[in-house]
Amino acid sequence: MINVKDKKFIKAFGNNLRKMRKDAGLSQEDLANDADIPLSQVGRIERGEVNTTISTAYALSKALQIKIDTLFKFK
């Protein structure tokens, strides 16, 4: 269960990931394969349902070919 104080941040992270993925022209399946994580996990992260790990965020940034801090730059 996500801590209530974190929900807004986790949702924003997921929305930013979705934007970065779409900007890269990747489907969720493509991103999951490139990051070597389950497809369902990409969906859960994008919907803000899970508080992802740093290692998963790193794998996603590598798959998107962006710096990891870019995933955390949102309003």
pLDDT tens per residue across span 13-35? 999 999 999 999 999 999 999 99
Residues of the chain above pLDDT 90, percent: 85
Q: Where are the alpha helices (DSSP H) in the chain?
A: 7-23, 28-35, 39-46, 54-64
Helix axes 54-64, 28-35, angle to 10 degrees: 110
Whole-number Cα distances in Å, 49 to 57, 65, 66: 15, 24, 23
pLDDT at 1: 54
> What does pTM read for this prediction?
0.90
pLDDT at 74: 78
Q: Would you say residue 4 has pLDDT above 70?
A: no
User: Which has more confidence, 73 or 35?
Assistant: 35
